[in-house]
Amino acid sequence: MFELKLEKNWYDAMAMRSSVRRYTGAPDKAQLDRLGVLCRKLSWQGVTVRMFRGPGLRSSIKGTDVYAVIVAKQGTPMEMEGFMGEALVLEATAMGLGTCWLGAGFYPDIVSRNVNLQNDEAIHCVIALGKADLKPAEHKRMPLDKLCGMTEEQLAALGAWQKDAVLAARIAPSAINMQPWTIKADGAGISILERGVLYKKYAALDRGICMLHAAVGAYHAGREAMWKKVEGGYAMRA
């Protein structure tokens, strides 16, 4: 579960990514073709990722009409939608494109019609994609000690991969930046667990995004993540 071939350049992409709501244009044909190939690779384990161009995005997104839709089969853990979607986000960022996850910023009826949504499928989010002037992002996130109760030095003492995984997980995006997770790290691995928040609608999807970041961080340190379902979230060994 959560098997995916990660790319080395997704690590730097995490530092460059922030939500873009004003674009200078739609991706060009070569970029769309590349994203289309990736969408096919991301379409398994219960989700299908498809690109569209045209109506569907609400007016909070300006300058592009291109978006990716994540369709989940009934019974698929919502974390998978975040995991696969964030892979698309990081690849698009590595290509120099801007992105924005959208839970509310799209028209569900138009998008559902576009994908010919079936009774056993659901769409929770789309991702806007377009040309943008990317700069290293300033991520407003909870401090490390609140996130995992440890300092960077304490994490590094556990292992380089635990440190890189937790630092990468810290900057993961989430709906209204709620960061609805807490992280437990020890010598064996790290766990990404739910944290009590008021707005829970996307908490599991957010957790999947956070898991992808953690996996990319561990991969940067030379380790491949394996995930296991645990009470309240997922645990990673690498």
Ligand X SMILES: Cc1cc2nc3c(=O)[nH]c(=O)nc-3n(C[C@H](O)[C@H](O)[C@H](O)COP(=O)(O)O)c2cc1C
Binding stretches for ligand X (CB under 6 A): 18-19, 21, 60, 100-105, 125, 139, 173-177, 202, 205-206, 209
Q: How far is the CB of 95 from ligand X (least distance, A)?
A: 17
Residue whose C-beta lies closest to ligand X: 173
Quick check: 11 and 216 in contact, CB under 8 A?
Answer: yes
Q: Which residues neighbour 10 within 8 Å (Cβ) at sequence distance 6 or greater?
A: 87, 90, 91, 94, 216
Nearer to ligand X, 167 or 238 (CB): 167
Q: How far is the CB of 140 from ligand X (least distance, A)?
A: 7
CA dihedral for 219, 16, 49, 126, sign (positive or negative): positive
Q: How far is the CB of 88 from ligand X (least distance, A)?
A: 13
Nearer to ligand X, 139 or 184 (CB): 139
**How many angstroms separate the most distant Cα atoms in the chain?**
52
* Nearest of 115, 180, 194, 186 to residue 141 by alpha carbon: 180
Q: How far is the CB of 172 from ligand X (least distance, A)?
A: 8
Tokens of 195: 């944290």
Q: How far is the CB of 153 from ligand X (least distance, A)?
A: 26
Q: Cα separations (Å) of 64 from 6, 105, 159, 190?
A: 27, 13, 42, 38
Nearer to ligand X, 63 or 226 (CB): 63
Nearer to ligand X, 74 or 177 (CB): 177
Nearer to ligand X, 10 or 101 (CB): 101
* Nearest of 74, 90, 83, 70 to residue 1 by alpha carbon: 83
